[in-house]
Amino acid sequence: MLQYTLKKLLAGLPLILGVTFISFVLMVYFGPDKTYELAGKNPTEEQIAQIRADLGYDQPFFKRYTNYVIELATLNFGHSDSTGERVTRLLGRTIPISLALTLPGFVLGNVIGILLALLAAYYRSTWIDKSIMTFAVVGMSVSFLIIIIGFQVMFSSAYGLNMFPVRGWSMDTLGEYLYYVTVPTLAIVFVSLGYNTRFYRAVIVEELGKDHIRTARAYGASARSILLKRVLKNSMIPIITRIMFSIPLVVISGSLLIESYFGIPGVGKVTYDAITTGDQPVLKAVVGATAVLFVVVLIVTDVLYRLFDPRVELK
Amino acid sequence: MSEPLLKVRDLQVEFHTDKGVARALDGISFDVMPGETLGIVGESGCGKSVTSLAILGLIPSPPGRIVGGQILFQGQDLLSLSEREMRKVRGRDIAMIFQEPMTALDPVFTIATQMGEVLRRHQGLTRKQARQSAIDWLARVGIPSPERRIDDYPHQLSGGMRQRVMIAMALSCEPKLIIADEPTTALDVTIQAQVLEQIVKLSQDLGTAMMLITHDLGVVAQTCHRACVMYCGKLIEQSATGPLFAAPAHPYTAGLLASVPRIRTQRLDSLPTIAGTVPDLLHLPRGCRFVERCGQAIDLCHSAHPPLQVDEHSGHELACYNPVQGEAR
Amino acid sequence: MSAGESFWSKAWRKFLGDRFGLASAGIVLGYFVIALGVWLDLWGQQWSTLTSGSNLPMSSAHWFGTNLSGQDIFDRAIYSTKTAFEIGLSVAVLSTILGAILGAISGFFAGRWSDEVILWLMGTLDSIPFYLFVAAVAFALQGHPLAMHAAMIATFWTTTARVVRGEVMKLKELEFIEAARAIGVPQHLIIFRHILPNTSHLLLVQATIVFVSAIKSEVILSFLGLGVQDGVSWGLMIAESTQEVIVGQFKNFFAASGMLFVLVMAFNLFSDALQDALDPKKVH
């Protein structure tokens, strides 16, 4: 198992190097020059040279990229340009917030999506299927931004129910957590439900047509046992793949919009602020962390495949 | 004379496709007596498999639909049962052996789970009893070291072994009727006879009636008491196996029999075949469905489909206006 | 190729029989005419003119009222249709071409080094958070107005390439390709003249999907300040409207999101109908 994990990690290296390299070239090497921003008014030649040396601008391209990889390997990205906080500390503080924010919606969006898909697939071509799929297409066609704004007006403003906060975040008590997480969760569920339902329905419809499902029915299995036991376990490979590979994107990209809109201090907001201010140490860390997360996801996914499908072998 | 175990009457099944409605079964009627082995013969697409799926209420819908007829099992019309009542019949009273051992078993559950589930559902056994019973059945169908094999997944077994598992599962609840749909077609030629023999022997030991669906006339001759011949969704000839093979009355049956190679009497290069191809179910001829391929069609055959009735000459149930009247070969 | 002809005419017949498909195609066409009119200076030209008052109600002069800055919402929404089509079409066409070429090469040389390199590139691009990538491209292009377009093209091709790769791997085993290879047709001709045309039905469907993704992404990117730089778009209108909805002015929000929703919905249905018509194996 350890050997397998190491082998997989090694196989993930090209991915990590690719992601960091492309991001480095675009964001750092061709990125904004911060010399004059930090230098203040009327800097001397020496001051400028000093700042450029501090930022590493005077070093050759390859050396600067190698430094980035070393930073990633040692988890030492230095300090944020704008707040001065250690980047690792900053991420350690904000990632849990983003997880707490996005996880409920992510889980619900997938669970409800699978349940609706099971219903739609089982009642294929009936009005149940048609209404679920119509709802799914509508859901797919509404922009995330419109959902967020709409839900905020509906749930959090005087023009709607006015039951939840307009913006902000707190996790001190469960009550407060629920108070702040509800509207974002509803928005995340709504935006993902259409896509999820459609994807899972296609998977389940195919599974329901398999010979072994016909065998199960020929031996008296109930609809419930067929759907919840057989179809679900047999569909686990595409389900796991979809869920696992959306995790890194949901945590970073999904939380970026919702956090900057609701003013929630998670890693998405940090990333967004870093984008607008050109805070390179933070951006480098976020990109690197995402790449590592993808490799971890790759490994965990393989192990999960093995867990649900006896035909899969780890190699 | 005892009552038939299964009485199928005027069964009609339609499939709705993009191009129109295909009538896959058009008024099929036959009986299965208790303990009897009935062969159902025909080319692929003639409605053999649809018949067996219809009996268990497993016609995929959409696109399929049973539009008429009765399926009486021990006097009760299966078509009138609710889905819940029908589930109790499936596997317990009527069990099915499918054609494809590679895909008919669930790949992500062990044999123990799949057989155990059936035994617990229909026999009310505990988990432990079900496991023991499953092991016993695996032993009876000739699976070596069943107590180890039972925890295997289907992909760990050979095709022949999987089909034996399927047979064990079919027999395990001691059903009154087994429907075997081309049970050996997908297997290696070398083990086909062995597996078939096993099915027949075990079902005879248990006194189980069997419907054996096949395109292989040799299999029917060896194993069946009676046989029905189907063509394009119609039953065209039915009789005890001996007379049917000795003196087929329908030109189609005769053609089928003539095209079976007989090593001693014929050279393979002169093997007769039936001219033409099976018509598309969407574009059937107006009269008898076989008319365009029939060597002895008369005018009447082009305008009306002959009804199935007892033929005076052969004694078979027959749907033909101008039957073959040859002597026994 | 007579087989190809009958495939397309059959798909066309199937599509004509699809009421939802036809209706949605009609709506998309309507939007396209609106965009064309803006492009030809027929309408929507007053989108940036400042009028007498902000947040004016609907009137005959301003069909959808005015926004916070006093600009005509109707004209802005109309003008944004052009923006949306510019983004959708350029991204859909270019990323489909890119995906087709790279996917075909990858599929044809499956298992060889060129395939490995392309697979690695796809995996890498898919692993960079999208908004960060757009921001990075904007940095690198120093805020060029087409930075967003470039970033979308550079990432959206991967899905198309994966689809094409899978199809090409199947196609290259077919007899007519084997035959072409046997008689010594050069590889690039086999890939681009014999194999790629046979994936055009997939490319068409994929292009419609990318079109939808592009105009949906524009809205969010523009809101985040990473999108449209000059002119106006539904995303910029929605971004403005966030200042207005808090004081109960919803006209700007409804105008932009309504226009966006109807187009995306119609395009989604159109894309579905296209898939139904073109893919005989698609499950319903």
pLDDT, residue C2, reads: 43
Q: Whole-number mean pLDDT of chain A?
A: 89
d(CA B49, CA A218): 13
B6-93+175-318 CATH fold: Rossmann fold (3.40.50)
Residue B262 pLDDT grade (very low, low, confident, very high; cuts 50, 70, 90): low
Q: Could you give the residue ranges of the DSSP H alpha helices within A123-173?
A: 127-141, 144-156
What single-letter DSSP state applies at residue A143?
A: -
Judged by CB atoms closer than 8 Å, whether chains meet at A210 and B103 is answered as yes
Cβ count within 10 A of residue B199: 26
pLDDT in tens, B171-205: 998 999 999 998 888 888 888 888 888 888 888 88
What lies within 8 Å, CB to CB, of A76 at 6+ separation is A88
Cβ(C106)–Cβ(C117) under 8 Å?
A: no
Query: What is the Rg, in whole angstroms, of the alpha carbon atoms belonging to chain A?
Result: 24
Cβ(B171)–Cβ(B178) under 8 Å?
A: yes
What lies within 8 Å, CB to CB, of A204 at 6+ separation is A117, A118, A121, A227, A231, A235
Which site among A207, A208, A212, A219 would you substitute to test the B interface, given the most B Cβ atoms closer than 10 Å to its Cβ? A219
Which of B58, B109, B153 is opposite residue A217, by nearest beta carbon? B58
Judged by CB atoms closer than 8 Å, whether chains meet at A141 and C261 is answered as yes
pLDDT, residue B54, reads: 93
Q: Is A281 touching C (CB cutoff 8 A)?
A: no
Residue A115 has pLDDT above 50, yes or no: yes
Would you state the structure tokens that stand for residue C105, as one six-digit string?
A: 């090469």
Residue C8 falls within a domain, yes or no? Answer: no
Mean pLDDT computed over A73-92: 88
Which of A220, A230, A310 is opposite residue B87, by nearest beta carbon? A220
Residue A228 falls within a domain, yes or no? Answer: yes
Shortest CA gap C71–chain A (Å)? 21
Shortest CA gap A23–chain C (Å)? 7
Mean pLDDT computed over C226-237: 88
Q: Is A27 touching C (CB cutoff 8 A)?
A: yes
Name the neighbours of B, counting chains with at least 3 Cβ pairs within 8 A.
A
Cβ(C238)–Cβ(A144) under 8 Å?
A: no
Lowest model confidence (mean pLDDT) among A6-10, A225-229, B258-262, C131-135: B258-262
User: Could you give the ipTM of this predicted complex?
Assistant: 0.87
Residue A106 falls within a domain, yes or no? Answer: yes
Lowest model confidence (mean pLDDT) among A172-186, A207-221, B262-276, C59-73: B262-276
Which of C125, C132, C223 is opposite residue A287, by nearest beta carbon? C132
Q: Which residue has the tokens 């924010």?
A: A101
d(CA A308, CA B70): 43
Query: What is the Rg, in whole angstroms, of the alpha carbon atoms belonging to chain B?
Result: 21
Dihedral sign computed on CA atoms, order B224, B229, B233, B235: negative
Residue C1 has pLDDT above 50, yes or no: no
Residue C20 has pLDDT above 90, yes or no: no
d(CA A216, CA A230): 9
Which site among C128, C244, C284 would you substitute to test the A interface, given the most A Cβ atoms closer than 10 Å to its Cβ? C128
- Nearest residue of A to residue C265 by CA position? A141
Judged by CB atoms closer than 8 Å, whether chains meet at A143 and C137 is answered as no
Mean pLDDT computed over B265-284: 68
Which of B90, B100, B117 is opposite residue A211, by nearest beta carbon? B100
- Tallying the residues shown for chain C, one arrives at 284
d(CA C265, CA C274): 14
Which of B60, B62, B118 is opposite residue A219, by nearest beta carbon? B118
Residue B329 pLDDT grade (very low, low, confident, very high; cuts 50, 70, 90): very low
What is the number of structural domains in chain A?
A: 1
- Nearest residue of A to residue C243 by CA position? A149
d(CA C12, CA C2): 15
Query: Number of A:C CB contacts under 8 A?
Result: 131
- Nearest residue of A to residue B92 by CA position? A219
Which of A146, A260, A283 is opposite residue C257, by nearest beta carbon? A146
Q: How far is CA B178 from CA A10, B100, B106, B118, B160, in A?
A: 55, 16, 20, 15, 19
Judged by CB atoms closer than 8 Å, whether chains meet at C124 and A125 is answered as no
Instruction: Tell me the chain B residues in contact with residue A219 when contact means C-beta distances shorter than 8 Å.
Output: 90-91, 95, 117-118, 121, 169
- Nearest residue of A to residue B85 by CA position? A220
- When comparing pLDDT for C203 and C46, which is higher? C203
- Classify residue B39 by burial, with Cβ atoms within 10 Å: 0-12, 13-18, 19+: buried
What is the number of structural domains in chain C?
A: 1
- As a three-state string, the secondary structure of chain C is CHHHHHHHHHHHHHHHCCHHHHHHHHHHHHHHHHHHHHHCCCCCCCCCCECCCCCCCCCCCCCCCECCCCEEHHHHHHHHHHHHHHHHHHHHHHHHHHHHHHHHHHHHCCCCHHHHHHHHHHHHHHHCCHHHHHHHHHHHCCCCCCHHHHHHHHHHHHHHHHHHHHHHHHHCCCHHHHHHHHCCCCHHHHHHHHHHHHHHHHHHHHHHHHHHHHHHHHHHHHHCCCCCCCCCCHHHHHHHHHHHHCCCCCHHHHHHHHHHHHHHHHHHHHHHHHHHHHCCCCCC
Residue A36 falls within a domain, yes or no? Answer: no
Residue C124 falls within a domain, yes or no? Answer: yes
Instruction: Tell me the chain A residues in contact with residue B56 when contact means C-beta distances shorter than 8 Å.
Output: 218
Using DSSP's 3-state secondary structure scheme, residue B10 falls into strand
Instruction: Tell me the chain A residues in contact with residue C125 when contact means C-beta distances shorter than 8 Å.
Output: 22
Judged by CB atoms closer than 8 Å, whether chains meet at A218 and B121 is answered as no
Using DSSP's 3-state secondary structure scheme, residue B274 falls into coil
Instruction: Tell me the chain A residues in contact with residue B85 when contact means C-beta distances shorter than 8 Å.
Output: none
**Strands B37-41, B20-32: parallel, antiparallel or unpaired by DSSP?**
unpaired
Mean pLDDT computed over A140-169: 89
Enclosing domain of residue A248: 93-266
The alpha carbon torsion through A281, A282, A287, A291 (nearest 10 deg) reads: 90
Q: Read off the CATH number of the domain in which A212 is found.
A: 1.10.3720.10
Instruction: Tell me the chain B residues in contact with residue A125 when contact means C-beta distances shorter than 8 Å.
Output: 62
Q: Read off the CATH number of the domain in which C122 is found.
A: 1.10.3720.10
Residue A298 falls within a domain, yes or no? Answer: no
pLDDT, residue C252, reads: 86
Judged by CB atoms closer than 8 Å, whether chains meet at A149 and C241 is answered as yes
Shortest CA gap A211–chain B (Å)? 5
What are φ and ψ of residue B71, in 5° steps? -125, 100
Instruction: Tell me the chain A residues in contact with residue B90 when contact means C-beta distances shorter than 8 Å.
Output: 217-220
- Nearest residue of C to residue A138 by CA position? C265
Residue A301 falls within a domain, yes or no? Answer: no
Mean pLDDT computed over C4-23: 81
Residue B150 pLDDT grade (very low, low, confident, very high; cuts 50, 70, 90): very high
Instruction: Tell me the chain A residues in contact with residue C216 when contact means C-beta distances shorter than 8 Å.
Output: 143
Q: How far is CA C228 from CA C37, C131, C233, C239, in A?
A: 20, 14, 7, 12
Judged by CB atoms closer than 8 Å, whether chains meet at C124 and A22 is answered as yes
Q: Could you give the residue ranges of the DSSP H alpha helices within A44-165?
A: 45-55, 61-74, 87-122, 127-141, 144-156
pLDDT, residue B328, reads: 42
Using DSSP's 3-state secondary structure scheme, residue A177 falls into helix
Judged by CB atoms closer than 8 Å, whether chains meet at A219 and B91 is answered as yes
d(CA B124, CA B130): 9
Judged by CB atoms closer than 8 Å, whether chains meet at B98 and A221 is answered as no
Judged by CB atoms closer than 8 Å, whether chains meet at A212 and B88 is answered as no
Give, for A213, the enclosing helix (H) or strand (E): helix A211-218
Mean pLDDT computed over C167-187: 86
pLDDT, residue A215, reads: 93
Residue B264 has pLDDT above 70, yes or no: no
Q: How far is CA B189 from CA A215, B84, B183, B184, B221, in A?
A: 24, 40, 12, 8, 18
Instruction: Tell me the chain B residues in contact with residue A234 when contact means C-beta distances shorter than 8 Å.
Output: 106-108
What lies within 8 Å, CB to CB, of A105 at 6+ separation is A184, A185, A186, A187, A188, A189, A192
Instruction: Tell me the chain C residues in contact with residue A292 when contact means C-beta distances shorter than 8 Å.
Output: none
Q: Is A252 touching C (CB cutoff 8 A)?
A: yes
Instruction: Tell me the chain C residues in contact with residue A291 when contact means C-beta distances shorter than 8 Å.
Output: 127-128
- Nearest residue of A to residue B84 by CA position? A222
Shortest CA gap B118–chain A (Å)? 7
Residue A156 has pLDDT above 70, yes or no: yes
Residue A261 has pLDDT above 50, yes or no: yes
Judged by CB atoms closer than 8 Å, whether chains meet at B106 and A219 is answered as no
Q: Whole-number mean pLDDT of chain C?
A: 87
Name the neighbours of C, counting chains with at least 3 Cβ pairs within 8 A.
A
Enclosing domain of residue C182: 33-40+63-282
pLDDT, residue C283, reads: 52
Residue A141 falls within a domain, yes or no? Answer: yes
d(CA B172, CA B153): 19
pLDDT in tens, A53-72: 777 777 888 888 888 888 88
Judged by CB atoms closer than 8 Å, whether chains meet at A157 and C241 is answered as no
Instruction: Tell me the chain B residues in contact with residue A237 when contact means C-beta distances shorter than 8 Å.
Output: none
